[in-house]
A and B are shown apart, each in its own frame.
Chain A
Amino acid sequence: MGKLLEVKDLRVSFHTYAGEVKAVRGVSFELNEGETLAIVGESGCGKSITSKSILRLIPSPPGDIKKESQILYKDKDILKMNEKELRMLRGGEISMIFQDPMTSLNPTMKIGKQIAENLIVHRGMNKKEAIKEAVKMLQMVGIPNAQERVNQYPHQFSGGMRQRVMIAIALACNPKILIADEPTTALDVTIQAQIMDLMKELQNNLGTAIILITHDLGVVASIAHRIQVMYAGMVVERGTTDEIFYNPKHPYTWALLKSVPRLETKHKDTLYSIKGTPPDLLKPPVGCPFASRCEYCMEICKEQMPKPTKISDTQEVSCFLLHPNAPKVEPPQGIGGKL
């Protein structure tokens, strides 16, 4: 498993009337061939911005990817690519699907043509071949009557069907990486499971690496190899799926795990919720961003940013609780273990 993508010190800001909103503040991670990396966090933590930055889809202005950031794909910096290289990358090597399938398809273009566009650019097909291939793609993602469906418009498809079409568009050119930005959030629960199963199956067949962005830990358990937890524009904890579920170290990860509904949750128990709101990234706090909501907050947390501590080869946590001077704290009951 070779290294495919390497994000180094990614910093993204948005310039608004009130000042600079630092949405992503120094995120680094790697992605290996064929693996699934889940980026988890609540809304506004910078996970979507991170994923869009990889394809340089951040509108500028107001968005601004800082100069020190690097995103290396096969050792080439995406942030320094020219227009043509970028185009070959987008859709060809790395493709992306978005949160809301109701709005992410062009309403006035036939489904078949929307898939074909990709094939014409990256695989040099002519229109006829591309439409033929589009039918095959639709069949692959499990859309019945594909032959008929290619000539229909998005409004004739249901939400789940549209997300399948999005997956077909994304996978049409056999990309090395698929970025899925909350692909199931806007869908019904039963459809969610179908879409996740489909992605898993396609990954097995095609060997595509997946970056899965989600706020729902429940979604990632069965598909992700590695998980990284983001909070307020930073990675607070990362590890293999087992490590995150069985041996989480960061209080925010604990809180996230506690707020996932589980089978053994009793009826009368109310689901855990994290108090307060994430910090305003217009004026990010000097210390740990989670300090103001953390049950285990210490004085030091408000004064300094904790540095990442290695727990194992794969697990890394940024929290002062792991400092030798810190009191020993047991993770709360009822978390850990597979969902």
Chain B
Amino acid sequence: MESLDKSKFRIIGIDESEAETIVRPNLTYWQDAWRRLKQNKVAIFSLFLLILLFLLCIFGPYIGPDYKFQDMSVRNQGPSAAHWFGTDTLGRDLFSRLWIGGRVSLSIGFVGTLIEVIIGCIYGGISGYFGGSVDDVMMRIVEILNSIPYMIVVIILSVILKPGIVSLLLALCITGWTGMARMVRGQVMQLKESEYILAAKALGSDSNRIIFKHLIPNTIGIIIVYTTFDIPSFIFAEAFLSFIGLGIQPPKTSWGALCSYGQQTMDFYPHQLLFPALAICITMLAFNLLGDGLRDALDPKLRQ
């Protein structure tokens, strides 16, 4: 210690610029979320799987014979070079039918979720933002809708409406949005108490501006996660309805409808059930795994 250079003992005080330097890399919320999502190999794999499924649904039907074309000479065939996934009882190519059905199933998933997000955000946003008696009444309505078993409503509506995509969507969306609305309301309630909303109010922003410029953007992360879990539940519900004969009617088809037909011949031609069932399972799995990854990535609490 005594051998230290004397010249170094000179008081230089605080270097202001240095005191404020931040050692860790500075990432925005989305950069950080993306970085964490990329680390999650399972989620990225699921994302690729989903993209592949979409592409197949778009281009798949053009590869083989037309999905409606009946060739009675090749009824109930197993997978072969001509018919990759085999044929059904009417000799239709199951590869083409699978992707046509996928179009229906996936669009129901996406459109249904979109409708739900819109209704849920508006409803939940209004309810949470205004609070008080508005909130009371709106939440009482949600509570009543919630205490009706979801599927029962869907069944009733499907019975009454003419079967088809539009009535299916209507049936699925009529009570489906309540979960989203509740969640958005909860988020809004929480954010409403925060100081930056107070600041925005003090600056004279009106309600619309606060809801759409502050509250919704701040709840978007959690909405994305919710959405990812919601799409498969729509696909699930569609499959369920088509399975009990209330969904898509022939000659149109969906994964649920294909499963329903496959089930009738399952003992003799298992491939007719196998492929649509696999398609549903893989899609669900991919969405759920991606949703898990997104939740971990977007949760600000998990930022380290």
Contacts and interface: CB of A to CB of B under 8 A. Distances in A.
A18 B24 contact: yes
Interface string B1-26: 11011111111111110111011100
Contact of A325 (B4, B12, B19): B4
Q: Chain B, interface size: which category?
A: 20 to 34
A303 B18 CA distance: 15
Contact of A326 (B9, B15, B19, B22): B9
Contact of B24 (A282, A295, A320, A323): A282
Contact of B8 (A279, A280, A298): A298
Given A282-B24, A300-B4, A324-B2, A16 B12 contact: no
B194 interface: no
A292 B12 contact: no
A327 interface: yes
Contacts of B4: 300, 304, 323, 325
A156 B39 CA distance: 45
Contacts of B24: 18, 280, 282
A309 to B, nearest CB: 9
Interface of B: 1-2, 4-16, 18-20, 22-24, 304
Contact of A283 (B6, B18, B23): B23
27 contacts: A16-B304, A275-B16, A276-B19, A280-B22, A282-B24, A283-B23, A292-B18, A292-B19, A293-B19, A294-B14, A296-B13, A297-B13, A297-B14, A297-B15, A298-B8, A298-B9, A298-B10, A298-B12, A299-B9, A299-B12, A300-B8, A300-B9, A323-B9, A325-B6, A325-B9, A327-B9, A327-B11
Interface in A251-302: 275-277, 279-280, 282-283, 292-300
Contact of A297 (B5, B11, B22): B11
A320 B1 CA distance: 10
Nearest to A19: B24
Contacts of B22: 280
Interface string A311-324: 00000000010011
Contacts of B8: 298-300, 303
A152 to B, nearest CB: 30
A295 B14 contact: yes
A295 B19 contact: no
Contacts of A298: 8-12
Contacts of A327: 9-11
Contacts of B5: 300
A276 B14 contact: yes
A328 to B, nearest CB: 11
Given A280-B22, A292-B18, A298-B11, 18 more contacts: A275-B16, A275-B19, A276-B19, A280-B24, A282-B23, A282-B24, A293-B14, A296-B11, A296-B13, A297-B13, A297-B14, A298-B12, A299-B7, A304-B4, A320-B9, A323-B9, A324-B2, A327-B10
A132 interface: no
A294 B24 CA distance: 22
A292 B9 contact: no
B14 A275 contact: yes
B32 to A, nearest CB: 10
A307 B1 contact: yes
Contacts of A16: 304
